[in-house]
Structure 1
């Protein structure tokens, strides 16, 4: 379902620049037609390779329209923030209804399309639960509102949750505090090869929540990972966000060990080079472009 949501962003969203990257990063996590996903501020910064200030500004811009809203009555794993793409949800509901009558029906989005009501019980299977002491009613669109500060006895785990708006901009683009344990660095952005890139916790959670771990099994997922690294061994170094997007696109196309693998080998796909859908190819190309050195670095 994340593919359909990303396709909506590519084809129908009015967002631009960093706001578009932020919206794509959230859409990439959507597990079903409700278009709800959780994401920490840290993960959005890392996946977009933008500064903390830029991501917050992008969220404010998205909140000014009707393409993104914060569901402050809910929280994801490790108390992460939960978002919804309401216009995407309305369009997908419209498409599904049209296809029930005619499988070949074509639908166009409209601002008049009603947004479907949330089904909280479906969200729970993806680790999204109502906050205690709330009625789980979504707030008005305000995704940059800071969560209440943690108590002294139970602080937030480090690198999780929705950060407050004050404080320093600690990002991959902050030259004064570069990332460590990376062999390549350009313009403050840490680069690494595909063979050295490590699967991050967000990507691991994505594979489990999207059902790829159950579909491929532990050994099948490891085999798919090894195959991906072999095919990407000669690629130029990229940022962690670009490798994560490319790895996810590969895993989506990987077939279970008991079925023939038709799309995992580059050049075999039915839609785009490398077996990617158009939306996946757009995403991988855009993220890769953000990581390429421009030649103007100091």
Structure 2
């Protein structure tokens, strides 16, 4: 579920700056559709490259906006704080309900009126396998739990024991906590951040689902979407490497602005209303389409 939670942050969160990085870091640790995750101030500060004061201010701003809440009666490994993304949970519940009868149903964007699913005892019991348990002696008094996590931070030099909590036992900080979630678009710099070039980034299933759900696949067609992807890669080829999530957001923005083909044949050459020359391979046809879109000679002008 961490991929769906991260997608919500990219698409719908109103947070900015450090708050957005903190929210994304917590979303990356989400384990199920109730959108619960644990984190410490030191871990969030490391991920967001921010001070503890900045992280505390970000948590307060996120709580005020309603996009994050502290689950005070629960705690993670080493007494770390437990958080929930309520608006994300409401969105996932809305999507699941709409697609129960029709997997391809269009789902309206999130709204404040969307009900947030309750976090029941059965859900809290399931969280135990990720190291999230009731805070000792505070089950009946959630308000007494430290909501900022200042006193519950584990020492930075005392890492989480293997197989404790929801962090994969052999992964890095940016690994998905759901061990069944595939790792795609992963390249690591010397600092440990996941970065890669535009050419190496691959369209992930979430982005393809977004294109279909938002109507861009119907508007452009499969061929038009491939052409838009090729144009995006040509324009982004010289850019510095970025995290996979940043490329995904940039790719979606490009596709959303892409115009639908004005002629039935995608491979028509500018200035001529003819199809691609016979005998061209699919790769050559795609190349011709890309050069045509960029206004470059294709070698087929006659």
Aligned residues of 2:80 and 2:149 also touching (Cα < 8 A): no
- Determine which of 139, 142, 147 is the counterpart of 1:135: 139
Q: Which has the higher contact order (CA 8 A, sep 6+)?
A: 1
SS of 2:38 mapped into structure 1 = strand
1:100 & 1:141 partners in 2: Cα distance? 38
1:45 & 1:90 partners in 2: Cα distance? 27
Q: Partner of 1:23 in structure 2?
A: 23
Aligned residues of 1:33 and 1:89 also touching (Cα < 8 A): yes
Q: CA deviation at 1:135?
A: 2.2
Q: CA deviation at 1:146?
A: 4.1
- Determine which of 152, 155, 171 is the counterpart of 1:158: 155
Q: Partner of 2:191 in structure 1?
A: 239
2:201 & 2:248 partners in 1: Cα distance? 15
Distance 1:94 1:141, change over 3 A: farther
Determine whether 1:117 maps to 2:51. no
SS of 1:73 mapped into structure 2 = strand
Distance 1:129 1:266, change over 3 A: same
Aligned residues of 2:72 and 2:146 also touching (Cα < 8 A): no
1:137 & 1:112 partners in 2: Cα distance? 28
Distance 1:79 1:140, change over 3 A: closer
- TM-score when scaled to structure 2? 0.55
Distance 1:141 1:238, change over 3 A: farther
The Cα RMSD (Å) is 4.0
Distance 1:112 1:136, change over 3 A: farther
Runs of 4+ in 1 over 3 A off after TM superposition: 136-143, 145-148, 199-209, 237-240, 265-273, 283-286
Q: CA deviation at 1:284?
A: 8.9
2:96 & 2:103 partners in 1: Cα distance? 9
Once the two structures are superposed, the pairs formed by residues 193-272 of structure 1 within 5 Å of their partners are 203-204=171-172, 209-212=177-180, 239-240=191-192, 243=193, 245-246=194-195, 266=200, 269=203
Distance 1:58 1:205, change over 3 A: closer
Distance 1:204 1:125, change over 3 A: farther
- TM-score when scaled to structure 1? 0.56
**Unmatched tracts of structure 1, length 5 or more:** 149-155, 162-198, 248-264, 274-278, 287-298
| Matched residue count | 201
2:145 & 2:15 partners in 1: Cα distance? 16
Aligned residues of 1:42 and 1:159 also touching (Cα < 8 A): yes
Q: CA deviation at 1:139?
A: 4.7
Aligned residues of 1:80 and 1:160 also touching (Cα < 8 A): no
SS of 2:100 mapped into structure 1 = helix
Q: CA deviation at 1:43?
A: 0.7
SS of 1:20 mapped into structure 2 = helix
Once the two structures are superposed, the pairs formed by residues 1-298 of structure 1 within 5 Å of their partners are 1-107=1-107, 108-118=109-119, 119-135=123-139, 139=143, 143-144=147-148, 146-147=150-151, 157-159=154-156, 203-204=171-172, 209-212=177-180, 239-240=191-192, 243=193, 245-246=194-195, 266=200, 269=203, 280-282=244-246
2:141 & 2:94 partners in 1: Cα distance? 23
Which stretch of structure 1 is more off in the superposition, 82-91 or 46-55? 46-55
Distance 1:20 1:207, change over 3 A: closer
Distance 1:125 1:205, change over 3 A: farther
SS of 1:100 mapped into structure 2 = coil
Larger CA Rg, structure 1 vs 2: 2
Q: CA deviation at 1:101?
A: 1.9
